[in-house]
Amino acid sequence: MVSLLGGLSIFFVIYFKDLLKPFVMAVMVWYLIKTIYNYIGRIKIMGKQLPRWLRGTLAMAFIFGLVQATINLIVYNLTEIVNNWSVYKNTLGSFLLGIGESMGFANIIDSLQGQIDRLNLQEFLASTVSSLSATVGNIIIIIIYIVFLLLEEVAFSKKIDLIFPDPSKRDRIQGILNQIYESTNKYITLKTGISIITGALSYVVLIVFGIDYAFLWAFLIFLFNYIPYIGSLIATFLPAVFAIIQFGTFWSFVWVFLAIEAIQIIVGNYIEPKMMGKSLNLSPLVVVIALSFWGYVWDLLGMFLSVPITSIMLITLAQFPATRSIAILLTENGNIENILVARKDH
């Protein structure tokens, strides 16, 4: 039975991925909105909280205003790169020529430089803008989903009461849902905070080194920090490689890479463990497998969501005796008592 359900679930997430991806993205944004909503709830005017509808509206306005401002800055940075590409191409050409002459790879360098000369960034930008335009429909769908998720909150508890009239079953289901919400919300909120810290520190370092379009690279570092293990490495390489294109020296790559990587190591090994703790308790091997699977199934979005999805699977599987052994295999140390205790408390 478990194998059948697992097979059906895999078929469902693959076959209906275009339908599911906007909804899952909406759920992730909903978690962030809920966090901001709770912070706004602490604001009191004449000893009273702001109305629920106003808190929800302000939280959504903040999130989507931030997204809009970020998109505008990214488009501006990409446009500037295209406009100045001829200068960067000449600098890169001089760097490659020097490398070729010093190492005796003149023929290979000439071929590589020919490829660079044929690179048309205008076409690349047009393709990127086209891709962004294609996502506008998804963004509208995501907004609609978020609105209905916020509206559904009010009646959801009542629906659970009606579906499960038995108090013990109702408490068990409510406990599982609460545990999923608390764990996922904690991960998304803290990971976002950690990614902001990493991106902000990287932005300062890039400004110090004089790297052009520091905001674009810092944003990519922030974004890729959600992807376990490989995300931070990819994000570190991007501004380091651009340093060669901008300055035409290999040492610029080395210093930028080392500086950004130092931030990644400090935040990843010291700050993140203190903030995140052992709340997820996922095996590193399971995280890598989940990263590969969800990346294959849902592309880049799947890589971003692999950890929270696997965490939800762990919490859910741990609640039922038939699937508890699978949950134990997903953990880092085999301990699922913290999940079960949380369920009993509810």
280 has pLDDT over 90:
no
Which residue type, as a one-letter code, is found at position 80? E
Model pTM? 0.78
Angle at 340 between CA 328 and CA 286, to 5 degrees: 25
Share of the chain above pLDDT 70, in %: 82
Cα atoms in the 13 Å half-sphere on the side-chain side of 277: 3
Residue 213 to residue 247: CA distance in whole angstroms: 14
- H or E element: which one contains 327? helix 324-330
- H or E element: which one contains 45? strand 44-45
- Looking at residue 5, its pLDDT comes to 67
62 has pLDDT over 90:
no
Report, as an integer, the average pLDDT of 111-140: 60
pLDDT digits (tens, 9 = 90+) for 306-323: 888 888 888 778 877 778
Q: Are 339 and 331 in contact (CB under 8 A)?
A: no
Say which residues have a Cβ less than 8 Å from residue 43's Cβ, sequence separation at least 6.
49, 50
- Looking at residue 217, its pLDDT comes to 92
Cβ–Cβ contacts within 10 Å for residue 34, how many?
Answer: 19
Report, as an integer, the average pLDDT of 245-260: 90
64 has pLDDT over 60:
yes
Higher per-residue pLDDT: 62 or 129:
62
CA 344 to chain centre: 31
